[in-house]
Structure 1
């Protein structure tokens, strides 16, 4: 006889993202997620006050895992800006998001933010943090402040667009992002170039 390991709050959060990715924000419902996890709905209330609490924790978790944790991983590498840009692209295109619904997750969060002010505020803060960090990495590669900001917007905007294309198997997210990074690095945006 096997005993089932109790679910953690993170298990529920991951399941919440899978529901979001497949059915939109309206799919984030305790009963539906419990059914997906094959547990009783009562288990939900061990970790969350209600569905709005789950949603708030999902957004906080996403900001931490999909931004702060990735930046910390890149910064832990002592490489130069160029190496760190490559590590960042690798991290942004790896499979760490599979447990959260895969490549559709970020797009689903953006759609959620269109209709929910709390999600919009978290998304804006995440976008600003990511853009500032990517610009900082371009600056470490010797790009001017203006070119660093432009490179960050181009690279980050392409990631958002390529993720959407990748959901329809119209892009190879990692290969296309590395090709764009190479083109940006060769574009002459470095100071004195």
Structure 2
């Protein structure tokens, strides 16, 4: 039986699982190789060193957890409301399971507290996400100010509910959909 060689993405996913369970200090080539049941030499086939792995993790996260989701939502043929619901479903779905589950985003935010490179990537991702969510609220007929406020509330809800869900204190998808519904209903009553 031959074992399929690991890709760089396999290492990145394993590194995210390490980050999610043990923090940034758990991103170590030896420990991840042990988890993957391979030699450390495989690591160096894909990455120069651990800082290179970390840089590629952040790039991968921005692409997969933001750009890919936005592209999927944009490919859908629905109203702004439909697209907001699809966005919430994508953000609360199973995509992140291979990266460490609901803890992954919180672990990245914690990493960014102590690392200027991670902080810069996180800020850029947050700005991109907020701008996109505000754009979707605008498609629903909300004013510019209400769109930005709705985006901030919805995104803050996601961040907070992810933290609660990691402790099994919230149903992330159901609670996010309820929050979205309340925001959309409140906006329509105010004449968004």
Report TM bin, short chain: over 0.9
Q: Any conservation in 2 of the 1:143–1:190 contact (CA below 8 Å)? A: no
Partner of 1:45: 44
Counterparts of 2:72 and 2:190, CA distance in 1 = 27
Matched, 1:136 2:135: yes
Q: How does 1:18-57 map to 2 (within 5 A)?
A: 18-57=17-56
Partner of 2:63: 64
Counterparts of 1:192 and 1:179, CA distance in 2 = 20
Q: Any conservation in 2 of the 1:143–1:191 contact (CA below 8 Å)? A: no
Residues 1:124 and 1:190: Cα distance change in structure 2 (over 3 Å) = farther
| CA-atom RMSD in angstroms | 1.0
Shift in Å at residue 188 of structure 1? Answer: 2.7
Counterparts of 2:145 and 2:177, CA distance in 1 = 22
Counterparts of 2:103 and 2:134, CA distance in 1 = 25
Shift in Å at residue 192 of structure 1? Answer: 4.1
| Matched length | 192
Shift in Å at residue 80 of structure 1? Answer: 1.0
Counterparts of 1:61 and 1:192, CA distance in 2 = 40
Secondary structure of 1:187's partner? helix
Counterparts of 2:176 and 2:69, CA distance in 1 = 16
Q: When the two structures are superposed, what TM-score results if normalisation uses the length of structure 1?
A: 0.98
Matched, 1:126 2:125: yes
1:124-167 per-position Cα deviation (integer Å, ceiling 9, x unaligned): 00000000000000000000000000000000000000000001
Q: Any conservation in 2 of the 1:141–1:190 contact (CA below 8 Å)? A: no
* Structure 2: gaps spanning 5 or more residues: none
Partner of 2:87: 88
Residues 1:117 and 1:189: Cα distance change in structure 2 (over 3 Å) = farther
Shift in Å at residue 116 of structure 1? Answer: 0.2
Counterparts of 1:134 and 1:46, CA distance in 2 = 38
Partner of 2:166: 167
1:24-45 per-position Cα deviation (integer Å, ceiling 9, x unaligned): 0000000000000000001100
1:79-111 per-position Cα deviation (integer Å, ceiling 9, x unaligned): 110000000000000011000000000000000
Residues 1:190 and 1:11: Cα distance change in structure 2 (over 3 Å) = farther
Counterparts of 2:35 and 2:50, CA distance in 1 = 16
* Structure 1: gaps spanning 5 or more residues: none
